[in-house]
Amino acid sequence: MSETRAAEFEARLAGARGATVFVRVNAGDLVITSDDGRLSRIVRLDDVEEVSLDGAHVTIALGRGASTVLACEQAPALDAALVAACCTVPELTRALRSLGSSRARVNSTGQREFFAPLLDARRRAEDAVARPEVVAAFDADRLDRALAAYLAAAVEHSADARPAARRAYAAHVEDATEPLRRALATVRATSHAAAHPPATARVTSWRVWRAALDALFHAADLCWENLDHGTSVHRTQ
């Protein structure tokens, strides 16, 4: 999903006075200024809980019962711009602290293969345009299959070929990657609502899914640290 571009709209604040304002939707915030310069308000998009459209009115829910209602001739476009700005994909890869670390250089090939499905999903999301396509980039079933294939190969090519040793290593791998499987299950459970949200929860459903993605990348980093690198599928000779 490409970075949000700034968009500006003319609107009126709902209420008795109905002041004319200019609404600028940026990548990280929303700026509302009156045409006479007396009003200037900046709202962080992270503080926006939900956005709803009702005819020519856009309601921005800010939590604790507070909200801002804007009447706008371009209400659908303003609504779409706000929702798009609130529903972005974070960097995510910052959670992969072990990626490229000096510790991991001993088994850099194995590390690249372990994280490759997640990094590929992030790239897919960057190239996607529509909301369902962004969510589909992190398809939990595809990621689960990639993880299973990597771990099966890791066990098959473990350093100690004795059956008992391989069984013990397989059990270790199972335990070490349990947090990652749980995180994948959460991504799977939240994906449909994120891709096809109800009109009343477009921002909320996205953020629940986005939090699941963040937890997934943190879990992957933790699991890599917990795995026995020395018996991973690719070893430095």
Q: What is the pLDDT of residues 138-175, one digit of tens each?
A: 999 999 999 999 989 888 887 777 888 888 888 988 89
Is-contact 194 208, C-beta < 8 A? yes
Task: Check residue 234 and give its pLDDT.
Answer: 43
Phi/psi of residue 228, each to 5°? -80, 100
DSSP-based three-state secondary structure for 67: strand
Measured between alpha carbons, how far is 153 from 2 in angstroms, rounded to an integer?
35
Task: Check residue 228 and give its pLDDT.
Answer: 53
> Six-digit token pair at 184?
């994948």
More confident residue, 38 or 47: 47
Among 10-19, 193-202, 203-212, the least confident range: 10-19
Task: Check residue 103 and give its pLDDT.
Answer: 54
Task: Check residue 202 and give its pLDDT.
Answer: 98
Measured between alpha carbons, how far is 162 from 6 in angstroms, rounded to an integer?
61
Task: Check residue 233 and give its pLDDT.
Answer: 43
Radius of gyration for the chain, computed over Cα atoms and rounded to the nearest angstrom: 23
Instruction: State the average pLDDT over residues 196-224.
Output: 96
Q: Which residues pair with residue 50 across a beta bridge?
A: 61
Task: Check residue 65 and give its pLDDT.
Answer: 84
More confident residue, 103 or 216: 216
Pairing of strands 7-13, 66-71: antiparallel
Q: Which residues pair with residue 9 across a beta bridge?
A: 23
> Six-digit token pair at 174?
């199972």
The counts of H helices and E strands in the chain are 7, 7
pTM given for the model: 0.85
